[in-house]
């Protein structure tokens, strides 16, 4: 796995209030379904853990998503926009709301609710 991607996993987990350190690295809960997920100390995801961009990368720069993008710092790779999710939940979101786009009211609502959830789980990244 690319070091840049491992860095994003670490950014997501170090700023996740539910994430706890273990002897092997980290354990947290899927942002969607709360399944237990593991990430190694170097940022390598375990099992079905995947990196979730809460506001989809493709939505940045689109007028309909402007307010949402601003809530996560205006940058797709900002820690506030990153979460750990199980692969199945991540794929379902990608094929559903992410693909429908921010002009779709229901898609906008789903992503907005997920931004709320991510910000509720926010903590300043641990050193």
Give contact residues for Zn ion (rule: CB under 5 A).
30, 32-33, 35, 86, 89
Closest to Zn ion by CB, 82 or 86 = 86
Closest to Zn ion by CB, 5 or 33 = 33
Taking each continuous run of H as one helix and of E as one strand, the counts in the chain are 5, 5
Q: Please name which of 106, 115, 114 lies closest in space to residue 70, comparing C-alpha atoms.
A: 115
Closest to Zn ion by CB, 17 or 105 = 17
Q: How far is the CB of 31 from Zn ion (least distance, A)?
A: 7
> For residue 8, is it left (φ>0), alpha (ψ between -120 and 50) or beta?
alpha
Q: How far is the CB of 83 from Zn ion (least distance, A)?
A: 10
Residue position matching structure tokens 């995801």: 45
Closest to Zn ion by CB, 60 or 93 = 93
Q: How far is the CB of 30 from Zn ion (least distance, A)?
A: 3
* 49, 81, 68, 75: CA torsion to nearest 10: -130
Q: How far is the CB of 22 from Zn ion (least distance, A)?
A: 19
């Amino acid at each position: 796995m690319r070091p840049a991607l491992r860095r994003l996993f670490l950014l997501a987990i170090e700023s996740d209030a539910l994430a706890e350190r273990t002897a092997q690295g980290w354990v947290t809960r899927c942002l969607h379904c709360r399944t237990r997920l593991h990430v190694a100390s170097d940022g390598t995801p375990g099992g079905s853990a995947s990196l979730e961009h809460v506001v989809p990368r493709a939505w940045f720069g689109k007028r309909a998503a402007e307010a949402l993008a601003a809530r996560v710092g205006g940058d797709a790779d900002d820690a506030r926009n990153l979460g750990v999710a199980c692969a199945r939940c991540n794929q379902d979101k990608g094929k559903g709301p992410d693909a429908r786009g921010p002009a779709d009211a229901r898609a906008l609502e789903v992503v907005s609710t997920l931004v709320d959830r991510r910000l509720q789980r926010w903590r300043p990244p641990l050193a």
